[in-house]
Amino acid sequence: MTMKKIGVVGAGMMGAEIALCFAKKNMPVILSDVTQELAANGKKKQEDVLDRSIAKGRFPAEDKQAVLNCVATTADLKDLADCDIVIEAVLESFEIKAKVYQQLDAICKKETIIASNTSSISITKLASAVSKERVGKFIGTHFNSPASVMKLVEIIPALLTDEETIQATTQLMMAIEKEPVRVKDVVGFGLNRLFHVFYLEACRLVEEGVCTIEDVDKICVYGLGHPLGIFKLLDHTGHDLNQPIDQILFDAYGDRFRPSPQIQRLVDAGRLGRKTGHGFYDYSKK
Ligand SMILES: NC(=O)c1ccc[n+]([C@@H]2O[C@H](COP(=O)([O-])OP(=O)(O)OC[C@H]3O[C@@H](n4cnc5c(N)ncnc54)[C@H](O)[C@@H]3O)[C@@H](O)[C@H]2O)c1
């Protein structure tokens, strides 16, 4: 199964970057959101990402327009009817996602694969929103943020996903130069179990006064070879996402994922990270 036409639902932080991964490989992609304005904002985010890459000498300026030309925007899911795969990246809510799948299931051709970028919801539970004819074509594709840079994509089959869907999705990820890793449909998949256990220990180091936020980040960068410190990364992903996933992991696995009071305080104060100008770090002055 070769996939030529890609749909992405949700033009936020993840959706815009996921769509960009395909456009950079000259694949036509339709990016949708609830309004045309939000979908167009997604395309603007893509342009900003490309401009930053061009400024750093990592992307040729002369290719920018061709990449952007691969992306069409829409507020009407019917425009995704003939996509070979639709990747959903809307808000992390079962109810919202389920409604999107039901609409896509009714609109899309019978061969269309529906993939979810959920961070924490069971893929098998999400698959229950589609018809029995579609259920073999439902799969999880968990991209890492920023999706246009990070190579990892976790491929998460639901209980009833068919092998052809798994293979076709894996091939597609390789075609856009990602490193697909197949993981079971367990809470947190692979990445978030590692990520959360690591950052919760980083929070404990700060709470116990062992070292500062800045020094933990230095340990990550200069001792572990990470490209950026864990607290900078948490500010990038957003505490409104980090906090509920902590809770979901704690509910599933118990004490080793006990949520951090520091993250809760930041959420309560509206300091959600880079996007609000303040998280562990202050971004308002830059
Ligand atoms: N932020 C991360 O680091 C990260 C990493 C991996 C996975 N995820 C997952 O990716 C998904 C999206 O996260 P995000 O950070 O991009 O969120 P976001 O809030 O930046 O974007 C979500 C977008 O979905 C749109 N949307 C909401 N309902 C919609 C609908 N019915 N139809 C179309 N669009 C709709 C919103 O308008 C918004 O633009 C979530 O499931 C999240 O858990 C996030």
> What is the CB neighbour count within 10 angstroms for residue 227?
10
Residue identifier of the C-alpha nearest atom 3 of ligand 1: 237
Contacts with 259 (C-beta within 8 Å, 6 or more apart), sequence order = 200, 243, 246, 247, 250
Q: Which of 20, 30, 33, 44 to mutate to test the pocket of ligand 1 (most atoms within 8 A of CB)?
A: 33
Extract the tokens encoding 25.
């490989």
Domain edges within the chain:
6-182, 191-275
Q: Among residues 17, 1, 24, which one has the least CA distance to residue 170?
A: 1
Extract the tokens encoding 21.
């991964």
Q: Which fold has domain 6-182?
A: Rossmann fold (3.40.50)
The CATH class of 191-275 is: mainly alpha
Question: How many angstroms separate the alpha carbon of residue 186 from the centre of ligand 1?
Answer: 21
How far apart are the C-alpha atoms of 140 and 124, rounded to whole Å? 9
The predicted-structure confidence for 122-156, as pLDDT tens digits, reads as follows 999 999 999 999 999 999 999 998 999 999 999 99
The predicted-structure confidence for 13-68, as pLDDT tens digits, reads as follows 999 999 999 999 999 999 999 999 999 999 999 999 999 999 999 999 999 999 99
Omega prior to 146 cis, within 30 of 0:
yes
Residue identifier of the C-alpha nearest atom 11 of ligand 1: 89
Q: Which residues pair with 13 in a beta bridge?
A: none
Active site residue 144: no
The predicted-structure confidence for 96-116, as pLDDT tens digits, reads as follows 999 999 999 999 999 999 999
